């Protein structure tokens, strides 16, 4: 089932969010940013969470859903999820900007980093819960078993570059450093 594939990715994203939560706690105590960690978190969010995970949702799953006669509720849910993906991208861009300003020595940039991290830490669990608990499973009723298998194959082709293993290893390495 292709949804299981996406839900497994959610678990890795949740692990990164936990690491970000821990880092924000450390930053709140020390008022110092760990730029190595921030760069890793930003790369993870941009590449894995957005391009890889949201890419499969938007370019494959939602694309195929839009080809179906969706209920008004499900159409609205897809539109909302896409808007949330855009919000996540904007928040990551603002985090990058705050991190860059901090690197340049701009006063107050650490506060912006903390605010952006806090927003992302709150955003991702709510977004994931919405997809996992109220959208993914019911939406699979629109697809035949053959369509689901084709979608799963397309997910695997999308990920053919080894991105899953690469980012799983990155998260594991960061967890070991804690």
What pTM did the predictor assign?
A: 0.95
pLDDT band per the 50, 70, 90 thresholds, residue 141: very high
Of 120, 133, 53, 52, nearest to 87 by C-alpha is 120
Q: From 1.20.120.520, 3.40.47.10, 2.40.50.100, 3.40.50.1820, which CATH number describes the 2-177 domain?
A: 1.20.120.520
What pLDDT score does 105 carry?
93
Domain locations along the chain: 2-177
Q: What is the pLDDT of residue 69?
A: 95
pLDDT in tens, 26-85: 999 999 999 999 999 999 999 999 999 999 999 999 999 999 999 999 999 999 999 999
Q: How far apart are CA 105 and CA 30, in angstroms?
A: 17
Q: Is residue 159 pLDDT above 90, yes or no?
A: no
Q: Would you tell me how many other CB atoms lie within 10 Å of the CB of residue 64?
A: 18
The whole-angstrom separation of Cα 84 and Cα 78 is 10
Average pLDDT, the chain: 95
């Amino acid at each position: 089932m292709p949804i299981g594939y996406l839900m497994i990715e959610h678990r890795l994203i949740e692990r990164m969010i936990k690491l970000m939560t821990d880092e924000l706690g450390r930053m709140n105590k020390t008022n110092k940013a760990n730029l190595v960690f921030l760069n890793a978190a930003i790369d993870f969010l941009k590449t894995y969470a957005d391009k890889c995970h949201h890419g499969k949702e938007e370019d494959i799953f939602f694309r195929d859903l839009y080809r179906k006669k969706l209920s008004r509720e499900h159409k609205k849910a897809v539109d909302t999820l896409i808007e949330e993906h855009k919000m996540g991208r904007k928040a990551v861009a603002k985090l990058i900007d705050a991190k860059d300003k901090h690197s340049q020595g701009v006063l107050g940039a650490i506060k912006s980093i903390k605010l952006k991290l806090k927003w992302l830490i709150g955003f991702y669990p709510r977004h994931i819960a919405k997809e996992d608990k109220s959208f993914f499973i019911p939406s699979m009723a629109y697809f035949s078993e053959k369509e689901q298998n084709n979608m799963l194959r397309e997910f695997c082709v999308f990920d053919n570059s080894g991105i899953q293993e690469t980012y799983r290893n990155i998260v594991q390495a960061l967890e070991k450093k804690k």
